[in-house]
């Protein structure tokens, strides 16, 4: 499974094609879905272009995307840096859960090393929204292993930092080994960031794992040239995956 991560936490203006508004997100979503991606991940933005967990901003983005590509699962980030307050995060999530079905996310990515993670994940699951368990490090693996609802997650995201390829591969192998036997039926999605982005897509192809691409993870193509937009990244990722199998 190839997922598209359309914008991430990149600052407004950091890339000429970075989609921030609902209309821009819907445009990019339609383009990458036409290229075969199976799911979409985004960081909704407020009117100022900054990341937002406000229900109104989430609803605006999701309604625009669903109008452009109905039936494609769409998820959002819950990164603790967006709203670094556990109580406020949980209050925000309760408002997402109260949104009408067409305006709320299909899944939420929850980074398990963050302080709000287990409570947020429980709340999201109770609302009938899927959870992607973000595994950045061994501490997150420990949380996942101890969490009683680990087997209910939609996907496990093994997420590698912006490090050189050799280091990223070693880190990925270590995390995947630690996850062995924990909710084994839950699909693993492997991806990197910047320097590790393309190496992890290749490794995912070699290991038969799901992966993702988009301007959240990389602003360059495999040859190091600037990526024009999300569609170009998806096209390149499909080629990398085809050659890695």
| Number of Cβ atoms within 10 Å of the Cβ of 220 | 15
227 CA to centre of own chain: 19
d(CA 105, CA 62): 7
Give, in order, the Cα–Cα distances in Å from 94 to each of 15, 120, 154.
Answer: 33, 9, 20
d(CA 24, CA 20): 6
Phi and psi torsions of 157, nearest 5°: -95, 110
Phi and psi torsions of 95, nearest 5°: -70, -35
Contact 68, 27 (CB under 8 A): yes
All residues at 6 or more sequence positions from 119 whose CB lies less than 8 Å from its CB, including other chains: 86, 90
Residues forming a β-bridge with 108? 76, 131
**What sign for the dihedral angle of Cα 216, 153, 203, 165?**
positive
Strands (E), the chain: 2-5, 39-42, 74-77, 107-111, 130-135, 155-159, 188-191, 211-213
Q: If you average pLDDT over every residue of the chain, what do you get?
A: 97
All residues at 6 or more sequence positions from 185 whose CB lies less than 8 Å from its CB, including other chains: 151
- Rounded average pLDDT over 97-116: 94
| Number of Cβ atoms within 10 Å of the Cβ of 214 | 29
d(CA 240, CA 77): 26
At residue 245 the predicted structure's pLDDT band, cuts being 50, 70 and 90, is: confident
> So where are the chain's domains?
2-244
d(CA 215, CA 224): 14
* CATH number assigned to the domain with residue range 2-244, chosen from the 4 options 3.30.450.20, 1.10.1270.20, 3.20.20.70, 3.40.462.10: 3.20.20.70
d(CA 243, CA 221): 15
Phi and psi torsions of 221, nearest 5°: -85, 170
d(CA 226, CA 118): 38
Q: What confidence score (pLDDT) does residue 112 get?
A: 96
Residue-wise pLDDT for 192-235, tens only, equals 999 999 999 999 999 999 999 999 999 999 999 999 999 999 99
Residue-wise pLDDT for 29-51, tens only, equals 999 999 999 999 999 999 999 99
93 vs 245: which has the higher pLDDT: 93
d(CA 60, CA 68): 13
């Amino acid at each position: 499974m190839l997922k598209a991560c359309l914008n991430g936490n990149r600052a407004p203006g950091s890339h000429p094609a970075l989609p921030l508004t609902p209309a821009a997100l819907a445009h990019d979503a339609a383009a990458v879905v036409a290229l075969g991606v199976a799911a979409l991940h985004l960081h909704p933005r407020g009117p100022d272009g900054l990341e937002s967990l406000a229900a109104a901003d989430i609803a605006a983005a999701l309604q625009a995307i669903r109008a452009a590509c109905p039936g494609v699962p769409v998820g959002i980030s819950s990164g603790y840096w967006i709203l670094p307050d556990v109580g406020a995060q949980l209050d925000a999530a309760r408002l997402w859960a109260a949104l009408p079905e067409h305006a709320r996310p299909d899944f939420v990515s929850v980074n398990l090393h963050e302080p709000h993670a287990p409570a947020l994940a429980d709340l999201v699951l109770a609302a009938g929204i899927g959870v992607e368990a973000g595994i950045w490090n061994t501490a997150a693996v420990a949380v996942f292993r101890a969490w009683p609802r680990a087997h209910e997650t939609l996907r496990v995201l093994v997420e590698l930092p912006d490090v050189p390829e050799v280091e990223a591969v070693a880190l990925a192998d270590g995390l995947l080994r630690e996850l062995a036997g924990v909710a084994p039926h839950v699909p693993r999605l492997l991806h990197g960031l910047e320097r590790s982005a393309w190496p992890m897509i290749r490794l995912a192809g070699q290991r038969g794992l799901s992966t993702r691409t988009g301007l959240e993870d990389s602003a360059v193509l495999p040859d190091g040239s600037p990526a024009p937009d999300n569609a170009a990244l998806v096209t390149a990722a499909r080629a990398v995956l085809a050659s890695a199998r």
